[in-house]
Amino acid sequence: MEIYQKLQSVTKNILKEEPLKKHTSFQIGGPADLMLIPECAREVAEISRILREEEIPYFFMGNGSNLLVSDKGYRGAVIKTTGLCEISTSGNSMTVSAGVMMSKAANLLLRNGLSGFEALSGIPGTVGGAVCMNAGAYGSEIKDVLTETTYLDGTQVKTINGQQHNFSYRHSFFSGKPHCILSSKLTLAPGNPNEIKEKMEDYTQRRVSKQPLNLPSAGSTFKRPEGYFASKLIEDCGLKGTRIGGACVSEKHSGFLVNDRGATCEDMLRLIDFVKNEVYKQFGVELELEVKTIEEDWKGVLS
């Protein structure tokens, strides 16, 4: 049976030669040979099995809010997990499928009067993506409220709890592993819905006032170097507004590299290298990318 027909027997959500710039917050990236959007764990497992049997490279992605994809696209299959969108609540806990957006989870927690997620509410990605990289904002990280994660290891469904997540700064048990997160359990504290809403609105206002949310970006481009802030180093180098092609260091927040004039992946990579070199030259600090890069023939795993 032809590969496409095999996959079509599992899911109808298949796109051929799909431009990845339509699926990344940078709005950069050429076409993937195939994009599949499974709607349940069974579909994820079966799709993965077929792709492995056929020796087709593939990777999992969520909302694409932390990816910089080659202009040539990706010669393989992309499994997009945004079709995994179930949510259930029990007492002070909420079990959330990997494809649920962080903002949606935050609003449901607000409705249920559960507090502790407010600072994370504006992170522009999925819960699965946040767990994978231990996403955080304003002093909070997903690890602070996460108690359990169910994931797919090959064709086996497994669950880890608590410290088994091996969380550290922008790192988790899943970093560098080809696993697919399926769902996570968030455990929070009861709170006053009005106070929760006020906190969420405060964090939203902070973002709007300080971040270039009107331009395509992947949020903070670099990780926070120990003892420093990447944005402060970049600003102190005089790099605000620095441009290469359509890629630019944001005038509003120097930690954001933005696509404001139809930037290519090459533009962004050259700007990233320029910023890294200038910061090292002036301060001796080596910046590390927070954004993940996907090349045309990439065969690795997201870290």
**HSE (CB half, 13 Å, CA atoms) of 4?**
7
Q: Give me the active site residues, please.
A: 170, 220, 290
Q: pLDDT tens digits for 142-168? A: 999 999 999 999 889 999 999 999 999
Question: Model-level pTM?
Answer: 0.94
Confidence of residue 302 (pLDDT cuts 50, 70, 90): very low
Question: Is the pLDDT assigned to residue 1 strictly greater than 80?
Answer: no
> How many Cβ atoms are within 10 Å of 204's Cβ, its own excluded?
15
What does 143-201 look like in DSSP terms, one character per residue?
GGTEEEEEEEETTEEEEEEGGGG--BTTB-TTTT---EEEEEEEE-EE--HHHHHHHHH
* Residues 14, 44: Cα–Cα separation, whole Å: 13
Asked if residues 103 and 122 have their Cβ atoms less than 8 Å apart, the reply is: yes
Tell me the two tokens of residue 181: 């997160």
Question: Is the pLDDT assigned to residue 176 strictly greater than 60?
Answer: yes
Residue 126 CB-density burial (10 A; 0-12 exposed, 13-18 middle, 19+ buried): buried
Tell me the two tokens of residue 174: 């899943």
Mention every residue, 6+ apart, whose C-beta is less than 8 A from residue 208.
Answer: none
Question: Is the pLDDT assigned to residue 299 strictly greater than 80?
Answer: no
Q: pLDDT tens digits for 208-227? A: 999 999 999 999 999 999 99
Rounded to 5 degrees, what are φ and ψ at 277?
A: -65, -40
Work out the percent of the chain whose per-residue pLDDT is above 70: 98
Work out the percent of the chain whose per-residue pLDDT is above 90: 94
Q: pLDDT tens digits for 238-271? A: 999 999 999 999 999 999 999 999 999 999 999 9
Average pLDDT of the residues of the chain: 96
Run of H or E including 43: helix 41-53
**HSE (CB half, 13 Å, CA atoms) of 24?**
31
* Residues 145, 5: Cα–Cα separation, whole Å: 41
Q: pLDDT tens digits for 181-209? A: 999 999 999 999 999 999 999 999 999 99
Q: pLDDT tens digits for 224-240? A: 999 999 999 999 999 99
Run of H or E including 29: none
Mention every residue, 6+ apart, whose C-beta is less than 8 A from residue 178.
Answer: 59, 60, 301
Tell me the two tokens of residue 65: 């809010």
pLDDT score of 301: 54
